[in-house]
Amino acid sequence: MHKNVYGKNPSQKVEDLTKNRKGQTTPKNNSLNWWDYEIGTPRALTNTLLLMDDMLTKDEMKNYSKPISTYAPSSDKILSSVGESEDAKGGNLVDISKVKLLESVIEEDVDMLKKSIDSFNKVFTYVQDSATGKGRNGFYKDGSYIDHQDVPYTGAYGVVLLEGISQMMPMIKESPFKTTQDNATLSNWIDEGFMPLIYKGEMMDLSRGRAISRENETSHTASATVMKSLLRLNDTMDDSTKTRYKQIVKTSVNSDSSYNQNNYLNSYSDIAKMKKLMNDSTISKNDLTQQLKIYNDMDRVTYHNKDLDFAFGLSMTSKNIARYENINGENLKGWHTGAGMSYLYNSDVKHYRDNFWATADMTCLPGTTTLNDMPSTNTKNDKSFVGGTKLNNKYASIGMDFENQDKTLTAKKSYFILNDKIVFLGTGIKSTDSSKNPVTSVENRKANGYKLFKDDIEITTSDVNAQETHSVFLESNDTKKNIGYHFLDKPKITVKKRKSYW
């Protein structure tokens, strides 16, 4: 390596950073972001020290790592830096145990190493039915993943959790201690939690919470993180599971030519593993799968149709599941994303990744019935009748008793999956706000690349205002992207073309 690969005087910079640290003896400030003090900064520090192992003495490394124990004294607790500590769960537990494990390597502390591994093993549990508050965070038996107590988050915090596990397990394998967890639990999370949410290299946005509002963190980057995590975990699994995961990864990477997942790998190890897999002719790609998954514990539905190669997603809300999350200045327009929003995935693999959330009309999202409003509050739906049942991975009946944020709009929504058709029904749609009429939105789709037909007649104008309609058809040059919409009666349909920006 070049002599200045770490910059000039790197050891002096690390010394200055740790020597000038503040807050060791000052009162705890609960207005600070605990994550930076207990996970973010310690993670960066331990990685830096281990990378500079050949440039620092053992005493220097131990001295520079001292601040970690000040802010993160335990491998299974968080919030120690800002107030009274609490048990770490999910991704936070994996992250804090990893920080302490790396610290134990630097400190050459075997007891700390064992405690870190013991803490890590606690993550492999399911949320109990009786759980309340923060105890609701984590994986459920049906594959649901909840974080922040009531937000479906498989595609964001769940991905962080899986990536952390994929980093920890290979390290633990090289230690004198072993994980006590049953790989069957982790495999179940992957098979039931993650895989039904991934289609053509894309993690469905209905599971990504406020992350949908991040321009540079797309549904495809989330899926790519899952895939590289599976490759890392291969070395810790039995032979049959290794082969299955490799097939999943190869299939996902090859399913979307518009997004090269390999270009977003930033670890030499990940790059080498992926290159080896792509060049391994003994690992075949998977065929299309027929799968229908109802996540009753997080009010989500996903469906993969094998014959027509499309997928469908449904995002609902109840007294147990939040409509949406908006914190840290993110997802400020997510008002209706949990109000029965539907997602249709086909061969137009860039549809949701290509600035969908910046352009879509957030007051009229697909499948939702709203007052075309921007609610000022984020109160929960008080209704509990939300969920569904399925048959043979081809048929399902789903229902949602819905009310809006200020309780001025109510509706009973039903959804039927009938193999190659998805049927939406609404009844009891009532508004007590005389100034606003309920509006049910059918779709928000990219205009470019499609011809629009209304009742078999092509529409060439940008807008269609309140015309009775029996059917709408979106025709593409690629027949696999074609979409048809049929209406049981003849409602008055409005079509609008819009542009927007992040």
Could you tell me which of 428, 445, 138 has the C-alpha nearest to residue 298?
138
User: Does 182 map to a domain?
Assistant: no
For residues 428 and 487, membership in a common domain is answered with no
* Residues 425 and 456 reside in one and the same domain: no
Range of the domain at 7: 1-124
Domain end, chosen from 398, 413, 445, is at 445
Any domain includes 453: yes
Tell me if residue 210 is catalytic. yes
The answer to whether residues 471 and 378 belong to one domain is no
Closest by Cα among 91, 127, 122 to 320: 127
Residues 374 and 305 occupy one common structural domain: yes
Residues 484 and 428 in one domain: no
* pLDDT for residue 36: 93
End-of-domain residue from the set 399, 430, 445: 445
Does 376 share its domain with 454?
no
pLDDT confidence of residue 427: 96
Is 220 a member of any domain?
no
Give the Cα separation of 225 and 218 in Å (integer).
11
Which two tokens mark 392?
Answer: 């043979």
Catalytic: 148?
Answer: yes
According to DSSP H, which parts of 379-450 are helical? none
The Cα 325–Cα 333 span in angstroms is: 10
Asked if 457 and 390 sit in the same domain, the reply is no
Q: What whole-number distance in Å separates Cα of residue 137 and Cα of residue 90?
A: 7
**Catalytic pick from 37, 71, 140, 157?**
157
Instruction: State whether 421 and 469 are in the same domain.
Output: no
From CA 103, how far away is CA 50, in angstroms rounded? 9
Count of residues for the chain? 502
- Residue pair 248/230 in contact (Cβ under 8 Å)? The answer is yes
Task: Determine the pLDDT at residue 177.
Answer: 85
CA angle 325, 445, 464 (to 5 degrees): 115
Question: What does each of the 502 residues of the chain score in pLDDT, given as a tens digit?
Answer: 445 544 556 566 556 655 655 555 555 666 678 999 999 999 999 999 999 999 999 999 999 999 999 999 999 999 999 989 999 988 899 999 999 999 999 999 999 999 999 999 999 999 998 899 989 999 999 999 999 999 999 999 999 999 999 999 999 988 888 766 668 899 999 999 999 999 999 999 999 999 999 999 999 999 999 999 999 999 888 888 999 999 999 999 998 878 888 888 989 999 999 999 999 999 999 999 999 999 999 999 999 999 999 999 999 999 999 999 999 999 999 999 999 999 999 999 999 998 999 999 999 999 999 999 999 888 888 899 999 999 999 999 999 999 999 999 999 999 999 999 999 999 999 999 989 999 999 999 988 889 999 999 998 877 788 889 999 999 999 999 999 999 999 999 999 888 888 8
Q: Which of 43, 148, 445, 470 is catalytic?
A: 148
Identify whether residues 53 and 115 lie together within a single domain: yes
Which class for 45: exposed (0-12), middle (13-18), buried (19 or more C-beta within 10 A)?
buried
Type of residue at 107: E
**DSSP per-residue string spanning 416-465:** EEETTEEEEEEEEEEES-TT---EE------STT-EEEETTEEE-SS-EE
The reported pLDDT for the residue numbered 30 is 66
Same domain for 469 and 415? no
Q: How is residue 121 written in tokens?
A: 């093993």
Eight-class DSSP state of 176: S
* 276 lies in some domain: no
202: which strand partners?
A: 199
Number of compact structural domains in the chain: 3
Q: Under DSSP, is residue 62 helix (H, G, I), strand (E, B) or coil?
A: helix
Give every CB contact of residue 427 below 8 A, 6+ residues apart in sequence. Answer: 411, 412, 414
CATH number at residue 404: 2.70.98.10
Within this chain, do residues 383 and 491 fall inside the same structural domain, yes or no?
no
Residue 152 sits at φ, ψ, to 5 deg, of -65, 120
Residue 60 forms part of a structural domain: yes
pLDDT at 17: 57
Query: Nearest-CA neighbor of 152 among 311, 293, 249, 44?
Result: 293
Q: Can you give the C-alpha Rg of the chain in angstroms?
A: 25
Report d(CA 351, CA 359) in Å as an integer.
11
Q: Whole-angstrom Cα distance, residue 49 to residue 99?
A: 12
In a domain, 238, yes or no: no
Structure confidence at residue 466 (pLDDT): 80
**Do the domain assignments include residue 207?**
no
The strand order across the sheet containing 421-431 reads 386-391, 395-403, 409-418, 421-431
Q: Sign of torsion, CA 331 223 340 426? A: positive
Q: For residues 400 and 316, is the Cβ–Cβ distance under 8 A?
A: yes
Nearest Cα residue to 119 out of 140, 147, 88:
88
Which of 37, 145, 208, 210 is labelled catalytic? 210
Tell me the backbone φ, ψ of residue 406, rounded to 5 degrees.
-100, 15
The pLDDT value recorded for residue 247 is 96
Same-domain pairing of 318 and 440: yes
Counting Cβ atoms within 10 Å, is residue 3 exposed (0-12), middle (13-18) or buried (19+)?
exposed
**Rounded CA separation 392/291 (Å):** 9
Asked if the structure places residue 415 within a domain, the reply is yes
**Residue 257: what pLDDT?**
76
User: Considering 90, 106, 124, which residue would you say is the last residue of a domain?
Assistant: 124
Residue-wise DSSP of 251-293: HHHHT-TTS-GGGG---HHHHHHHHHHHT-TTSPPPPP--EEE
Give 80-85 contacts, CB < 8 A, sequence gap 24+.
80/34, 80/38, 81/28, 81/32, 81/34, 81/37, 81/38, 82/28, 82/29, 82/30, 82/31, 82/32, 82/34, 82/37, 83/28, 83/30
Per the listing, tokens 């739906």 go with 381
